[in-house]
């Protein structure tokens, strides 16, 4: 007997993907912590008056300290850690949120709240001055601390999904704005005061926070084993990159005046429309494909790949109506495997399953694609189609000859034998499918009794 394997819901995260994601998350967190620690150590070395290679590219000292606290907060919030580390994680998140929010207020209201930490410049203690982190980094790291919050209730999970969405939107805006600034797509600018390392660190920590939240709530579809998860994972990189490519191309064309602005806008808009339309077609095609697969699964027998009883009734009814409409004869063939129970009891269910599968192969090879061939019970098969009495009789003889050839060629194998009953209705009669199936079943049992009598008399 085949072992039953439970099927997970399509939105249930795939354990294999979760395992790989956990490894990637640990790698990203380790990289981020190392990045922030190196920057902080660099500032401490400068504080002592020593030189540090690449000191001009270090992130702001306060930014490095806040970023390191934020990374450690994410690290200590892992479920497998003890409650003491979880409390430390919440404490670090609260400190980061407080400092980040205070710095944002300082920029917005032009006040000093005393949260700027003095750090040394290249000259050591002589250059000890308050160093304020950029408003972009302060806002990003403050918002990032929301990822530490654990949601249990459904309403809290929905709120967490919304906050995660806002976090990703904010960080994408900050990081892409910084990248556009340093690449000079819109020309030189001095407005962006964030360092590339702080933006990289913010992006890494946001990726970790998003992967944590993606294991629950609406984002879990990205980790699902179903077709929706596969489509979402396949299209996400494309959907993330295309808008930025479009805007950079627009800025490049308009800034260099290589093309009139109205044509630039028209071309890029048309490209966006056609790409969106292509994505729409792809999604529609995949959904239709899934619908066909689901429909086939609901009508097919898993062992023999023939139609099941439900599929037989649905398709045979249609074939019967078409035969009557076209004034054609219609026939039903009923096949029952002989001694399948004895085979299962003596040799095991695997041997019985092999006989069922071989019967299915014989039936498929001897009938047309337009005929309805099905396994309608444990050891019972049926065929329905537009056959005359002579045609269905020849078909019954063909499958019996195929079984005989199989038995002759398979030395030592379990003998394949079945009893066959048939019934044919002319176009003028009005028997239902159930009546035809019952008549064919009755004829099959008559054949089975005749064979038993013949064996007993031999």
Domains and CATH numbers, the chain: 15-225 (no CATH), 309-457 (3.30.70.270)
Question: Residues 6 or more apart from 178 whose CB is under 8 A from it?
Answer: 136, 192, 194, 196, 199
Q: What is the tens place of the pLDDT at every residue in 250-276?
A: 777 765 566 666 666 677 777 777 777
User: What pLDDT does 259 receive?
Assistant: 64
- DSSP code at position 136: H
Q: What is the tens place of the pLDDT at every residue in 411-448?
A: 777 888 889 999 999 865 778 899 999 999 999 999 88
Higher-confidence residue of 348 and 150: namely: 348
pLDDT, average across residues 149-174:
81
290-320 burial code (b ≥16 CB/10 A, e <16): eeeeeeeeebbbeebebbbeebbbebbeebb
Q: Is the pLDDT of residue 186 over 80?
A: no
pLDDT, average across residues 104-131:
64
**C-alpha torsion 82→86→87→90, nearest 10:** 180
Please, where are the H alpha helices in 110-226?
A: 135-144, 154-183, 196-213
153-164 burial code (b ≥16 CB/10 A, e <16): eeeebeebbebb
pLDDT, average across residues 182-206:
77
**Neighbouring C-alpha atoms within 13 Å toward the C-beta of 421:** 21
Decide: helix, strand or coil at residue 429.
coil
């Amino acid at each position: 007997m085949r072992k039953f394997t439970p099927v997970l819901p399509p939105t249930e995260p795939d354990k294999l993907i979760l395992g790989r994601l956990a490894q990637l998350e640990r790698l990203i967190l380790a990289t981020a912590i190392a990045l922030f620690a190196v920057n902080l150590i660099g500032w401490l070395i400068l504080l002592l008056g020593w030189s540090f290679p690449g000191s001009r590219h270090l992130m702001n000292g306060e930014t490095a300290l806040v970023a390191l606290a934020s990374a450690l907060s994410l690290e200590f919030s892992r479920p497998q850690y003890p409650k003491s580390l979880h409390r430390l994680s919440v404490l670090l998140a609260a400190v980061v949120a407080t400092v980040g929010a205070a710095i944002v207020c300082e920029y917005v209201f032009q006040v000093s709240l005393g949260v700027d930490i003095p750090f040394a410049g290249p000259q050591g203690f002589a250059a000890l001055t308050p160093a304020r982190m950029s408003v972009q980094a302060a806002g990003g790291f403050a918002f990032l601390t929301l990822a530490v919050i654990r949601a249990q209730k459904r309403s809290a999970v929905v709120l967490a999904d919304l906050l995660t969405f806002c976090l990703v939107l904010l960080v994408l805006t900050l990081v892409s704005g910084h990248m556009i600034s340093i690449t000079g797509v819109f020309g030189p600018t001095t407005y962006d005061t964030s360092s590339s390392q702080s933006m990289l660190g913010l992006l890494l920590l946001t990726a970790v926070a998003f992967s944590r939240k993606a294991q629950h709530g609406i984002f879990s579809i990205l980790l699902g084993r179903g077709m929706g998860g596969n489509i979402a994972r396949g299209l996400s990189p494309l959907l993330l990159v295309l808008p930025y490519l479009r805007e950079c191309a627009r800025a490049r064309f308009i800034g260099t005046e290589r093309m009139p602005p109205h044509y630039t806008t028209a071309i890029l808009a048309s490209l966006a429309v056609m790409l969106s339309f292509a994505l729409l077609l792809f999604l529609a095609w995949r959904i239709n494909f899934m619908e066909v697969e689901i429909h086939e699964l609901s009508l097919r027998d898993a062992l023999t790949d023939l139609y099941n009883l439900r599929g037989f009734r649905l398709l045979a009814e249609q074939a019967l109506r078409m035969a009557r409409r076209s004034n054609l004869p219609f026939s039903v063939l009923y096949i029952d495997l002989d001694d399948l129970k004895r085979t299962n009891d003596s040799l095991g269910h695997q041997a019985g399953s092999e006989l069922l599968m071989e019967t299915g192969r014989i039936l498929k090879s001897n009938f047309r694609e337009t005929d309805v061939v099905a396994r309608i019970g444990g050891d019972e098969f049926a065929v329905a189609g537009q056959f005359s009495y002579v045609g269905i009789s020849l078909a019954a003889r063909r499958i019996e000859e195929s079984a005989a050839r199989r038995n002759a060629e398979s030395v030592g194998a379990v003998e394949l034998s079945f009893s066959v009953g048939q019934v044919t209705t002319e176009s003028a009669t009005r028997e239902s499918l159930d009546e035809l199936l019952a008549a064919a079943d009755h004829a099959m049992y008559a054949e089975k009794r005749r064979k038993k009598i013949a064996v007993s008399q031999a």
